[in-house]
Amino acid sequence: MGNLEIIEALNLEVIEGEFLVLLGPSGCGKSTLLHAIAGLIDVEDGEIEIAGQNVTWADPKDRSIGMVFQSYALYPTMTVERNMSFGLRISGTPRDEINRRVKRASEILHLQELLDRKPSQLSGGQRQRVAIGRALVREAAVFLFDEPLSNLDAKLRAELRRELKELHKQIKSTMLYVTHDQIEAMTLASRIAVMLDGHIQQIDTPSAIYSKPANVFVAGFLGSPSMNFVEGNLEVSAGIVRFSSPSLGVDVSAYPFAAAPVQGHRVILGFRPEHVQFFSDTTAVADLHVAKISLLEPMGSHMVIWLDHLGQRFSANASGVRDPVVDQAISFAIDTGRVSLFDVATQQRI
């Protein structure tokens, strides 16, 4: 059997005290990277530094990390207190220090009333809090989370997201968090590193990645529904730059091009559902189009409208639309101040 190369030539610097989320689809290398940092996987080349120390070949116990896995991995015969203190006990930490750390962690995670219970007596959310507490008592330099909420239902995930954010705010430790869930990434992260095929596609704040994605993959991976894409050409004439396709034409003269736009350049126009604006038929708006509503998706706090325009289907938020119905004709325009443009060949932002 040959070696399978998962990650090649990856450089990542994590800022002390930040909450960095590694986001990407299954198989992109995010968990492999986390496990390499933890020392659970050996690296073939390069170095791993934690708190200024080269720990590339150090044992996991010597890396000053606390790790929380997808599975709770609690000892079923031990109480919550014994589960949280187990690692400290086997490392010879003094009893008084163990008690102090367990007390602090249980207060932060609201586990004081559960310390004498066993895992079988806890809910899924409580078990995951115990697993987090077990990492927390180590008072490590870095905390690593490997999809810790993926086994929980939606309500519990939302509750624990808030608790993790509060935890980071309280202890101000460096945290690395792996997930394929964009909502977790957007709500938790100080910065997000979006990964694909073992490479970081973009690393930036959640708002920057959402508003200015570096390429088509990042643009399509974040957002629900995801960004709409329309392929077409740039038309450049007398200082005016237009995006033109069989289904859509818009003025993109104000777009912050990285290089001067070229006539005929094949590009992809990207715009999010909230960038679609609706108007009455009589409104005087540039590049006003008429589409048919093909589908309605009630989302509770808002509604998503799916539009069919000259064979092109895309999504829009229904804000400002009163009582939309399927097959209704509706006038719309694109907020061109918030669109993205990508090169068709490279898929990169232009």
User: In the prediction, which pLDDT does 283 show?
Assistant: 67
Q: Is residue 202 part of a domain?
A: yes
Strand partners, 332: 278, 289
Last residue of a domain, one of 181, 215, 249: 215
Q: Which of 134-138, 284-288, 317-321 has the highest average model confidence (pLDDT)?
A: 134-138
pLDDT value of position 73: 84
- Domain assignment present for 323: yes
Asked if pLDDT for residue 307 goes beyond 70, the answer is yes
Residue 150, pLDDT score: 87
Is residue 138 domain-shared with residue 248, that is, in the same domain? no
Co-location of 33 and 179 in the same domain: yes
* Mean pLDDT across 247-270: 96
CATH number at residue 194: 3.40.50.300
The range of the structural domain enclosing residue 280 comes to: 228-343
- Amino acid 191: pLDDT: 98
Same domain, 311 and 191: no
Closest among 180, 197, 219 to 23, alpha carbons compared? 180
**148 and 277 in one domain?**
no
User: What does DSSP assign to residue 148?
Assistant: T
Same domain, 132 and 266: no
The number of folded domains in the chain is: 2
Q: Look at residue 72 in the predicted model and tell me its pLDDT.
A: 83
* Residue 27 host element (H or E): none
* 321 lies in the same domain as 193: no
What CA–CA distance (Å, rounded) separates 333 from 290?
Answer: 9
Domain end marker among 215, 250, 268 = 215
Indicate the range of 153-157, 236-240, 331-335 predicted with least confidence.
Answer: 153-157
Q: Are 216 and 347 in contact (CB under 8 A)?
A: yes
Looking at the structure, tell me whether residues 67 and 108 fall in a common domain.
yes
Phi, psi of 270 (to 5 degrees): -120, 135
- Cα separation of 174 and 195, whole Å? 20
pTM of the complete model = 0.90
| Residue 263, pLDDT score | 97
- Per-residue pLDDT of 67-107, as tens digits, reads 998 888 899 999 999 999 999 999 899 999 999 999 999 99
96 and 158 together in one domain = yes
pLDDT of 3 reads: 66
pLDDT of residue 6: 80
Does 264 map to a domain?
Answer: yes
pLDDT tens by residue, 12-69: 999 999 999 999 999 999 999 999 999 999 998 899 999 889 999 999 989 999 999 8
CATH number reported for the structural domain that contains residue 232 in this entry = 2.40.50.140
Alpha carbon separation from 285 to 32, 161, 270, 280, 289 (Å, rounded) = 51, 42, 20, 10, 10
**Residue matched to tokens 């990650």:** 7
Which of 188, 215, 242 is the endpoint of a domain?
215
Dihedral angle computed from the Cα positions of residues 49, 52, 55 and 58, in that order, rounded to the nearest 10 degrees: -160
* pLDDT given at position 1: 38
Residues 150 and 283 in one domain: no
Please determine, for residue 11, whether its predicted confidence score (pLDDT) is greater than 70.
Answer: yes
- Asked if 130 and 81 count as a contact pair (C-beta separation under 8 A), the reply is no
Domain identity same for 74 and 186: yes
Q: Are residues 180 and 241 in the same domain?
A: no
In this prediction, residue 153 carries a pLDDT of: 87
Pairing of strands 49-50, 19-23: unpaired
Terminal-residue alpha carbon distance, the chain: 42
For residue 320, the model assigns a pLDDT of: 72
d(Cα 43, Cα 32) in Å, to the nearest integer? Answer: 10
pLDDT at 282 over 70: no
**Percentage of residues in the chain with pLDDT exceeding 70?**
98
Residue 317 pLDDT greater than 90, yes or no = yes
Q: Indicate whether 241 belongs to any domain.
A: yes
In a domain, 8, yes or no: no
71 or 258, higher pLDDT = 258
Instruction: For residue 5, tell me if it sits in a domain.
Output: no
Instruction: Kindly state whether residues 204 and 262 are assigned to the same domain.
Output: no
The answer to which of 6-10, 311-315, 339-343 has the lowest mean pLDDT is 6-10
